[in-house]
Every structure is written in structure tokens, then in C-alpha cells.
Amino acid sequence: MAEMEHDKSKNDTSKDMQVQHTWAMYVRFGAMIVTGMVVMYFVMFVGSWEWDHVRFSESRLFMALTMGGTMGLIMLAWMLNMYRNTKANVMIVAASLVLLGGGAYLDRSQTTVQDEAFMNGMIPHHSLAITRSERAELTDVRVCDLAVEISEAQRREIFEMEWLIEDIAHNGAAATRQEADARPVPSYDEPAERHCPEATK
């Protein structure tokens, strides 16, 4: 009798440990997804022309959420033999779809993006365009000319957005055409670093 109770106690302990191990695996799974989203958010700034161009970007946050949802579905599909709790798997799929769909909706609709958030998101985007325009190995002179135009336009627009962010922070939004005309954006010109072959005379 005592031996049977001892065996039952051992079985109960073993089941408890198995349950704890299973849920620990799912906690690690969630931690991997969250860590991946955080890392991917910052990796999206790697191609910036200047580190000063790195700003908090709602659009990149939305993309990180979308990628996190995608990663959750793919990882679960590949490791389904390790994750056998049906209820937990359904929760992962549901959460992943919410991240994927929610991130995609927010990114495409831009419903939460206001003036300053729009410009803070566009500055690193323009910075990436400068990097590509300056560094690409181009052989066609016409493409080179286009790259120079893009680089100079992006530099000018980054300056304009930085100026506007400061102006709005100090003076508020120019909600009317009259207010906008009273606070014009200064002109700015910065040459590209790339040089193309000169036109023949």
C-alpha cells in the first residue's frame, strides 16, 4: 500500500515537472519572438547615412510587429513536433495573426501617424535612399545622374523635415495657408558626394 502511494506521488511529481517544462518552452518561444521584434526594429536603421538620422519611427514599429507575427507562425510550423500543447498553439497562432494583421493595417492606414511622427519616420527612410544613391556601383551615366539627384533631394528634404519638427515643437502646427506663408521653410542645398562623368562639350 505504501509502495503504491509512493509510486503515485512520483508519477504526480513527474507530471508536474513535465507541465512546468512545457510552459517554460512556450515562455521561451514568446521571449524569442519579442526579442526578435526588438532586434529587427533596430536592424532596420543599419543602412542609415548618418546615425543622427535614426529616429523613433512608427512605421518601422508597425513593420516589426508584422515581422513578429510572421516569425511566430513560421517558427511554430517548423517546431510543431516540439510544441504539442494544442491550446497554447492556438493562442500562438491567434496572437501571431493579430500582430501580422494589426501591424499591416497600421502601416498601410497610417491612422496613428501625425505630423511629427510622419517626418520622424521619413527621415531614416530618406537616409537609406542617400546611402544607396551614394554607394551603389553604377556604370550607366544616366543612372549616376539620377542617383545624384536623389541624394541631393533627400538631403534637402531631411533638412526641411528637421526644421519643421523644431518649428512645430516651438510654434505649433501651421493649420492655415496664411500661417504656413508666415513661417516658410528655409531653402537648403547640399551637394551629393557622388560624382558622375561630365557632359562632353
Domain closes at, from 94, 109, 124: 109
- 193 in a domain, yes or no? no
140 with 97, same domain?
no
The counts of H helices and E strands in the chain are 6, 0
* Chain mean pLDDT for the chain: 91
The CA distance from 98 to 37, in Å, is: 14
158: in domain:
yes
End position of a domain, from candidates 109, 128, 146? 109
190 lies in a domain? no
| Pairwise CA distance, residues 169 & 165, whole Å | 6
Neighbours of 18 (CB within 10 A): 10
Q: Identify whether residues 156 and 105 lie together within a single domain.
A: no
Task: End-to-end CA distance of the chain: give it in Å, rounded.
Answer: 107
Q: How many whole angstroms separate alpha carbon 88 and alpha carbon 93?
A: 9
pLDDT per residue over 136-181, tens digit each?
999 999 999 999 999 999 999 999 999 999 999 999 999 999 999 9
Range of the domain at 53: 1-109
In a domain, 199, yes or no: no
Could you tell me if 128 and 167 lie in one domain? yes
Average pLDDT over residues 26-36: 95
46 and 84 inside one domain = yes
Looking at residue 122, its pLDDT comes to: 97
Last residue of a domain, one of 70, 90, 109: 109
Q: What is the pLDDT of residues 46-64, one digit of tens each?
A: 999 999 999 999 999 999 9
* Tens-digit pLDDT profile for residues 85-140: 999 999 999 999 999 999 999 999 999 999 999 999 999 999 999 999 999 999 99
Residue 28 counted as domain residue: yes
CA distances from 68 to 13, 78, 183 (A): 36, 15, 42
pLDDT higher than threshold 90 for residue 7: no
Count structural domains, the chain. Answer: 2
Q: Is the model's pLDDT at 200 over the cut of 90?
A: no
Q: Report the predicted TM-score, pTM, of the whole model to 2 decimal places.
A: 0.81
User: What confidence category does residue 20 fall into, taking pLDDT thresholds of 50, 70 and 90?
Assistant: confident
Is residue 29 domain-shared with residue 83, that is, in the same domain? yes
pLDDT band at residue 8 under the 50/70/90 scheme: low
Residue with grid cell 523613433, as numbered in its chain: 56
